[in-house]
Amino acid sequence: MRNYDIVVIGSGIIGLATAYAAVKQGLSVAVLERHARCVGASIRNFGFITVSGQRAGEHWRRAKYSRDRWAEIAPQAGIPIAQRGLYMPAQRPEATAVAEAFLHTEMGKDCRWLSKTEIAEKLPFLGPHEGVLFSPHELRVESKTAIPQLANWLTKVHHVDFYWQTQAHRIELPTITTSQGEIRGEHCIVCAHHDATHLYPELYKQAAIKLCTLQMLRVKPQKSIPLPGALMSDLSFARYDGFAQLPEGKFLGLLLDQTMENYRQFGIHLIVVQSQDGSWIIGDSHRYTDAEIPFRDEHIDALIIAELQRLIPNQTFSVRERWLGVYPSADDVVLKYSPTNGVAVGVVTSGTGASTGFALGEELLTLALNSNRKTI
């Protein structure tokens, strides 16, 4: 096999973003993926690039930067932007207080509280609510097609070599031993999340990483309803750190612990996005364990659908697809390591890879090129 400046392990969004960061610097890049194609968290999510609601500070700035990169790259790669913007109806006064507090933070810049006229025009189907917070920052792509399109674009336009069905077994730079033989790289960046525990088990153990299993559905409304953007509900105000860590968000969370205990125990909140065929992707739940939960819980799906019907009453929905997602989780939103010279390991431990991946890819490239031996 030929020599590369950078070998990336993992073809999810973090791996692809890292490969893009490297080719922008004129470096030769190979991507190793143990499956025949990307089948993990990056294609099982909403494809929702979320800025408002990310944890305040560095992670929110990662999301803003990554959102701009998505807007720049998507048309070049032939990836349609399916939706723009986020609408968050406040269903109770305590959620309104969260929204108002958020608008007074740095993160609330350019967001606004919609007028009653705007709500009637854009969201006439909403159930009872106190008002609607609008964020203009968000973008959505269809993740199950966008990820392979991005990989194809990196191959054709930026000459990134992809080695599919190739699992990395050992990294001893400049040699990386794989299931298909050896490959040589000056630097290696591991972006395979929990699939790479065999490479550096002590790092994953030290970080106390759990796995989060989530449930999602694709539904079709009985009556065609065009959504102006993504939708969330009060449960999201109490879950997303950018809202939930505000004093008002903490108060809302305590209230929901009492009034919606069955939702909170399964980590359920509501995101609704629309695909080009008119169907909606809805979810999701969050269960944290030492291993992926392989079985769906029908009760959780019923709770998600019930919350959708509270947000949008007088409508029925037929379920078209159901699936499980899984991602690594830890107290920190992102983990970055340089276990040895020339090697970087990156793990998004907050389910925000699509939203922050392009920023994190650049950070991981810098970490590998600087050959740091320390843990960040």
Query: What is each CA distance from 296 to 216, 287, 323, 324, 334, in whole angstroms?
Result: 10, 11, 8, 7, 27
Q: Which residues of 147-171 are buried (b: 16+ CB within 10 A; e: fewer)?
A: bebbbebbeeeeebbbbeebbbeeb
Contact in structure between 132 and 87 (CB atoms under 8 Å): yes
Class in CATH terms, 1-47+142-207+330-375: alpha beta
On the question of a common fold for 1-47+142-207+330-375 and 81-140+210-329, the answer reads no
Q: Which amino acid is at 259?
A: T
pTM of the model: 0.95
Average pLDDT (5-10) is 98
376 vs 325, higher pLDDT: 325
**CATH number listed for the domain at residues 81-140+210-329:** 3.30.9.10
What does the domain layout of the chain look like in residue ranges? 1-47+142-207+330-375, 81-140+210-329
Looking at beta carbons, which pairs linking 65-69 to residues 24 or more positions away fall under 8 Å? Answer: 65/358, 65/359, 66/17, 66/355, 66/356, 66/357, 66/358, 66/359, 66/360, 67/137, 67/138, 67/139, 67/355, 69/17, 69/358, 69/359
Sign of torsion over alpha carbons 246, 252, 108, 146: positive
Average pLDDT (91-98) is 98
- Residue 376 pLDDT > 70, yes or no? no
pLDDT single digits (tens) 106-159: 999 999 999 999 999 999 999 999 999 999 999 999 999 999 999 999 999 999
Give me the pLDDT at residue 375, please. Answer: 40
Give me the pLDDT at residue 196, please. Answer: 75
